[in-house]
Amino acid sequence: MRNKDFMFWLFLAPVLFALGTVVLLPLIYGIVYSFTDWDGVNAAEFIGVKNYVELFSDQGFLNSLWFTFKFSIASVIVINIMGLGLAMLVTSYIKSKNVLRTIFFMPNLIGGLILGFIWQFIFTKVFDAVGRATGIEWLQGWLSDSQTGFWGMVILMSWQMAGYIMIIYIAYLENVPKDLLEAAQIDGANGWQRFRNITFPLVMPAFTVSLFLTLSNAFKIYDQNLSLTNGGPFDSTKMVAMDIVQTAFQLNQMAEAQAKAVIFFIIVAIISLTQVYINKKKEVEM
Amino acid sequence: MLTKKAFVLSSALFLGLAGCSTAEKKEESSGSSGGGGGDQTVVDIFQFKVEFKNQFEELAKQYEEEHPEVDINVQTVGGGNDYASALKSKFASGDEPAIFNINGAVDVQQYRDRLIDVSDTKAAGAALEGTLESVTEGEQVLGLPYNQEGYGFVYNKQIFEEAGVDADSIKSMEDLTKAVETLDGKKDELGIDAVFAFAGKEKWTEGNHGSNSFIADDFNGSVMEAFQAKELPFTKAEQYKEYIDLQNKYSVQPVLSLDYSQQVEELFSTGRVAMIKQGNWVYPTIEQMDPELAENVGIFPIPVDGETKMPVGVPQYWAVNKNADEEAQKAAKEFLDWLYTSDEGKEAVLTQFKFIPAYEGYDADKIADPLSKTIYEYAEAGNTQGWVFLGYPVGWSDILGAHLQKYLAGETSWEEAIEAAKNDWKKARQ
């Protein structure tokens, strides 16, 4: 197959051009600016790695980084369990499965900002009313402390992403050969054994995709964070993306924000690449 | 195969079209800024106040009719952070407006290279005393005030009357505490959920406004003194605590998830609380929610040291860009003069924009809403306190707000919170 001739590059050119101008170029610019003292308006001066050194004593940044880690781990677990659970449900023999698929996928179609406001209402109003009516204490006062702020974010994120991840799992679940399952059943394997030894290894590639997607999405989350908690109370639910935006546009420390963004980029890249690498090795080929 | 071909063709066509249209657009815009379309001078205005966007555009049109040689383009990008970042990207892209907004000393420092002296305008001469302080540098005046705003306790007159509390008699923190206790005791009869709605979720309302009342005296009420201060004395921290505790104790709970819209719309405008700490800017919202209730609101200042001074300040200034060509600069100044000193302009400022004017020569009776009127009366009587929070270190008000939230959540003591905030001030001013 000829794939490096003129036509190849011609058809690739628009994509390369777009990628270059909106991804690569800004990335390079960003890295360059992170070594300066640019404030967003006045000309920048080169100051070396000072921004990076200062980051490690910036408690606000470290806190938000730690919070983002915790949040990502919790939401990756919850989303994948929910996604796989929903997928198993709608690929089983229940009736309304097509309707259910649509319904489960729907939250994903709503924008993050709006979702944030909807859930804010649910947490602060509905939860509160139910809590008051039934006397259940832990349902009251949501989002007013860092614990409920954290779980509020996880619930919102899981609710939004689970449907999307479900679709990925469905695709793989439907490709699991029925004869294998049937053979196992005849051999006397129970439900859990069939899931553990046949279904699970065969949907492993779906984990690669799903874990990668959820992890990087959970890491980069911004609008849900903004509308649900806005980092509050006392910045305890402020995620890295929000910290970067605030450093850049509230504190006018554009270059420092760039340095944070570069670190952020490296972390996300490392996590994602390792994960892809590990999962690829584990995949089972039919 | 056929569909594939069609797809490639159509996308090529689409790309081609898109290319053409952007090219055309570019020509067009460069044409007009180069003085095309007759001999019109183009004045690009980039402003942040969404609330009066339509009225302002109307007024600009009116000005164009009277002055056909000037073409005014108004562009509005909403509130706070969005404006700052949008302005920065405007400057970065080279598409610089002739008139833009700055918020006082902090922005003057950042945009210094782009500001021209406007002290020769009529408006600068008519500006009320003190309103130009944070944009004055030696002899030069670098901005013109938008309007004045003031804040304090906005209260529901009807509820106060029913409870037999006279807002005018509240002169000290003790008076306020007594009034609040009276109101709290009659909660059921008055049909209110609580006395206050304390918006603990919003860092700015305490970080900026609340704290200002207790910090202003440290800097003699001067923005510039605050702006240059290396350290914050915070001598009235104890009084500040009393004030925070009082609001927190008698507020709808939990305060840390109570935001501005709940405070103003859901709780105050529906008569579920007796008062909130906010400013005249809440009036349009209350009026929209319940016009009847809106006629019945009043405002009194936060008592400090047994005194009640209204904190009045200028939230934003108009600045003229040095990089705009000279004709545009001249036209920009003329427009701003017309806006604040001509009869048409004055009329619009009062009745259309519903501003509290920051300039002399206005008819105070025309101020429409009761909150603004009270604030203007305080300002006229000189019974005011400066807005020093505009001179806080960049981002410090949010930092203070976060420390206060921590205190309200019971995660830190008052002394620790204040000490941490003072340290952050020192660090920011190093």
Q: Is residue B15 part of a domain?
A: no
Per-residue confidence (pLDDT) for residue B20, from 0 to 100: 41
| Residue B9 CB burial class (10 angstroms; 0-12, 13-18, ≥19) | exposed
B91 and B228 both lie in a single domain = no
Sorted by sequence, the CB contacts under 8 Å of residue B385 that are 6+ apart come out as: B212, B213, B216, B221, B301, B304, B309, B310, B311, B312
What residues in B contact A234, CB-CB < 8 Å?
402-403, 405-406, 409, 411
- The answer, yes or no, to whether residue A60 has pLDDT greater than 70, is yes
B347 and B279 both lie in a single domain = no
Question: Beta partners for B110?
Answer: none
**Across A3-7, A140-144, B188-192, which has the greatest mean pLDDT?**
B188-192
B268 and B355 both lie in a single domain = no
Average pLDDT over residues A128-148: 81
Output the CA–CA distances (angstroms, integers) from residue B325 to A41, A213, A265, in the order listed: 19, 50, 41
What residues in B contact A141, CB-CB < 8 Å?
253-254, 257
- B185/B177 Cα distance (integer angstroms): 12
- The answer, yes or no, to whether residue A68 has pLDDT greater than 60, is yes
Which secondary structure element, helix H or strand E, spans residue B66, and what is its range?
A: helix B53-66
- A133/A122 Cα distance (integer angstroms): 15
Average pLDDT over residues B28-44: 56
Average pLDDT over residues A188-211: 83
- The answer, yes or no, to whether residue B106 has pLDDT greater than 60, is yes
- The answer, yes or no, to whether residue B3 has pLDDT greater than 50, is no
Q: Is residue B14 part of a domain?
A: no
Q: What is the mean pLDDT of chain B?
A: 82
Give backbone dihedrals phi and psi of B145, rounded to 5 degrees, phi first. -65, 140
Distance from CA of A142 to the nearest CA of B (A): 8
The beta-carbon neighbor of A234 closest among B92, B257, B405 is B405
Residue B20: count of CB within 10 angstroms of its CB: 10
- The answer, yes or no, to whether residue B191 has pLDDT greater than 70, is yes
Please compute, for residue A31, the number of CA atoms within 13 A of its CA located in the half-sphere on the CB side: 7
CB-CB under 8 Å, A42 with B15: no
- The answer, yes or no, to whether residue B31 has pLDDT greater than 70, is no
B221 and B137 both lie in a single domain = no
- B316/B49 Cα distance (integer angstroms): 9
Per-residue confidence (pLDDT) for residue B38, from 0 to 100: 57
Sorted by sequence, the CB contacts under 8 Å of residue B1 that are 6+ apart come out as: none
Q: Is residue B33 part of a domain?
A: no
Average pLDDT over residues B320-344: 87
Per-residue confidence (pLDDT) for residue A7, from 0 to 100: 83
B189 and B283 both lie in a single domain = yes
Which of the two residues, B286 and A41, has the higher pLDDT score?
A: B286
Which of the two residues, A1 and B49, has the higher pLDDT score?
A: B49
pLDDT grade for B354, boundaries at 50, 70 and 90: confident
Q: Is residue B206 part of a domain?
A: yes
Average pLDDT over residues B173-199: 88
Residue A137 DSSP one-character state: G
Per-residue confidence (pLDDT) for residue B418, from 0 to 100: 92
Residue A239: count of CB within 10 angstroms of its CB: 25
Instruction: Using alpha carbons, select from B315, B129, B356 the residue that is nearest to residue B208.
Output: B315
pLDDT grade for A15, boundaries at 50, 70 and 90: very high
- A40/B428 Cα distance (integer angstroms): 18
Residue A47: count of CB within 10 angstroms of its CB: 12
Which of the two residues, A77 and B110, has the higher pLDDT score?
A: A77
Which of the two residues, A258 and B22, has the higher pLDDT score?
A: A258
CA-nearest residue to B406 within chain A is A234
pLDDT grade for B79, boundaries at 50, 70 and 90: low
Average pLDDT over residues A200-215: 82
CB-CB under 8 Å, B257 with A142: yes
> How long is chain A?
286
CB-CB under 8 Å, B395 with A233: no
Long-range contacts formed by A72-75: CB under 8 A, 24+ apart:
A72/A215, A72/A218, A72/A219, A74/A150, A74/A154, A75/A153, A75/A154, A75/A157, A75/A158, A75/A161, A75/A214, A75/A218
> How long is chain B?
430
CA-nearest residue to A147 within chain B is B409
Q: Is residue B61 part of a domain?
A: yes
B266 and B412 both lie in a single domain = yes
Contact B362, B346 (CB under 8 A): yes
What residues in A contact B402, CB-CB < 8 Å?
234-235
CB-CB under 8 Å, A233 with B394: no
What residues in A contact B255, CB-CB < 8 Å?
144
Contact B391, B105 (CB under 8 A): yes
CB-CB under 8 Å, A141 with B257: yes
pLDDT grade for B93, boundaries at 50, 70 and 90: confident
B142 and B172 both lie in a single domain = no
Distance from CA of A81 to the nearest CA of B (A): 30
Q: What is A58-282's CATH number, 3.40.50.970, 3.90.1170.50, 1.10.3720.10, 2.60.40.1510? A: 1.10.3720.10
Q: Is residue B380 part of a domain?
A: yes
- The answer, yes or no, to whether residue B6 has pLDDT greater than 70, is no
Q: What Rg, from alpha-carbon coordinates, does chain A have?
A: 23
Q: Is residue B409 part of a domain?
A: yes
* Angle value at C-alpha B270, between B267 and B276, nearest 5 degrees: 45
Three-state SS annotation for B271-333? CCEEEEEEEHHHHHHHHHHCHHHHCCEEEECCCECCECCEEEECCCEEEEECCCCHHHHHHHH
- The answer, yes or no, to whether residue B27 has pLDDT greater than 80, is no
- B416/B430 Cα distance (integer angstroms): 21
Tell me, what's the ipTM? 0.74
Average pLDDT over residues B14-21: 42
Which of the two residues, B250 and B4, has the higher pLDDT score?
A: B250
CA-nearest residue to B253 within chain A is A141
Average pLDDT over residues B131-142: 83
- The answer, yes or no, to whether residue A285 has pLDDT greater than 60, is no
Average pLDDT over residues B170-186: 88
Residue A198 DSSP one-character state: I
pLDDT grade for B323, boundaries at 50, 70 and 90: confident
Please give the structure tokens belonging to residue B254: 């939990």
pLDDT grade for A253, boundaries at 50, 70 and 90: confident
Pairs of residues, one from chain A and one from chain B, whose beta carbons lie less than 8 Å apart = 69
- A58/A104 Cα distance (integer angstroms): 41
Which of the two residues, A278 and B243, has the higher pLDDT score?
A: B243
- The answer, yes or no, to whether residue B174 has pLDDT greater than 50, is yes
* Angle value at C-alpha B148, between B142 and B149, nearest 5 degrees: 130
- The answer, yes or no, to whether residue B33 has pLDDT greater than 50, is no
> Kind of pairing, strands B273-279 and B149-156?
antiparallel
B398 and B356 both lie in a single domain = no
pLDDT grade for B345, boundaries at 50, 70 and 90: confident
B326 and B295 both lie in a single domain = no
Instruction: Using alpha carbons, select from B94, B92, B88 the residue that is nearest to residue B107.
Output: B88
- B194/B159 Cα distance (integer angstroms): 12
- The answer, yes or no, to whether residue A18 has pLDDT greater than 90, is yes
> Kind of pairing, strands B136-137 and B140-141?
antiparallel
Interface of chain B toward chain A, CB-CB under 8 angstroms: 15, 81, 84-85, 88, 91-92, 110-111, 113-114, 200-201, 203, 253-257, 394-395, 398, 402-403, 405-406, 408-409, 411
What residues in B contact A40, CB-CB < 8 Å?
85, 88, 92
- The answer, yes or no, to whether residue A61 has pLDDT greater than 80, is yes
Instruction: Please give the distance of CA B203 from its chain centroid, rounded to a whole number.
Output: 15
Give backbone dihedrals phi and psi of B384, rounded to 5 degrees, phi first. -125, 170
Q: B95 lies in which domain range?
A: 38-148+315-361
Q: What is the mean pLDDT of chain A?
A: 84
CB-CB under 8 Å, A230 with B405: no
B384 and B336 both lie in a single domain = no
Per-residue confidence (pLDDT) for residue B10, from 0 to 100: 46
- A107/A161 Cα distance (integer angstroms): 8
- The answer, yes or no, to whether residue B22 has pLDDT greater than 80, is no
CB-CB under 8 Å, A248 with B255: no
| Residue B22 CB burial class (10 angstroms; 0-12, 13-18, ≥19) | exposed
B290 and B401 both lie in a single domain = yes
CB-CB under 8 Å, B110 with A234: no
CB-CB under 8 Å, A233 with B201: yes
Contact B31, B23 (CB under 8 A): no
pLDDT grade for A16, boundaries at 50, 70 and 90: very high
Average pLDDT over residues B233-259: 88
The beta-carbon neighbor of B406 closest among A40, A234, A251 is A234
The structural domains of chain A, with segments of one domain joined by +, span 58-282
pLDDT grade for A3, boundaries at 50, 70 and 90: low
Give the CATH number, domain containing residue B197.
3.40.190.10
Average pLDDT over residues A37-61: 81
Per-residue confidence (pLDDT) for residue B18, from 0 to 100: 42
Sorted by sequence, the CB contacts under 8 Å of residue A13 that are 6+ apart come out as: none
pLDDT grade for A17, boundaries at 50, 70 and 90: very high
Number of domains in chain B: 2
Residue with tokens 């980069």: A220
pLDDT grade for B81, boundaries at 50, 70 and 90: low
B261 and B386 both lie in a single domain = yes
- The answer, yes or no, to whether residue A250 has pLDDT greater than 80, is no
Helix axes A146-173, A59-91, angle to 10 degrees: 40
